[in-house]
Copies of this chain bind each other. A is one copy, B any other.
Amino acid sequence: MARITGSNGERTALAIRHAALRLIHRHGFAAMSLRDLAAEVGIRPGSLYNHIATKQSLLFDLMHEHMTTLLAETDAALAAAGPAPLDRLRSFIAHHVLYHLERKREVYIANFELRALDAANAARILAMRHDYEARLIGLLEEGAAAGVLATADMRVTAYAMLAMLTGVCTWYKPSGRLDRAAIVALHTDLALDGIRR
């Protein structure tokens, strides 16, 4: 007999993940105690262990799920884009910015809590991050081959672009002055043409 969808156990597991995202984003993984987490969920500390193996595995699962989703969605966005290198690049930028606006907590954690993972887990997440960087480097190489863009160094340019595009996570608030489309357009312009006129 199949497990009942949305049973109490599953709802608790989901609540733990959401509460962990909030607390880790706000205070950092090391500063989040399992007592804090349990209190946020509304259960006793020991009950957490019906849903997680260790605090470490909880962090890894959150990061792994984020990276899996990011890679899959990016590939889908590129598959839906036109064939022109600049169009594909625009598609990457737009998806990256929108994804980072919508899931700023997951992104923040995946970028800044790598230090809290043990060596084996960190290696797995790093490999997925390298896969993601490789997507952008590939797009830059396509553009350079087509003669529509130029850069002194593919890899460092990709790092610089990703740092800029990921920066939205640190200041974006949904109630802010600019809407999402304006933020995407501004970052696309900056990446492609800079600020000089």
Contact = CB atoms under 8 A, between A and B. Distances in A.
Contacts of A185: 152
Interface stretch (A8-16, A120-128, A162-170): A162-170
Interface size range on A against B: 35 or more
Nearest to A155: B177
Interface in A11-26: 26
Interface stretch (A43-51, A59-67, A68-76, A188-196): A188-196
Majority DSSP secondary structure for residues of A touching B: helix
A161 interface: yes
Interface in A90-120: 112, 115-116
A115 B156 contact: no
A66 B162 CA distance: 25
Contacts of A3: none
A149 B31 contact: no
Contact of A28 (B115, B149, B177): B115
A151 B190 CA distance: 8
A191 B189 contact: no
A186 interface: yes
Q: Which 3 A-B pairs give the minimum distances between C-beta atoms? A: A163-B167, A164-B164, A30-B30
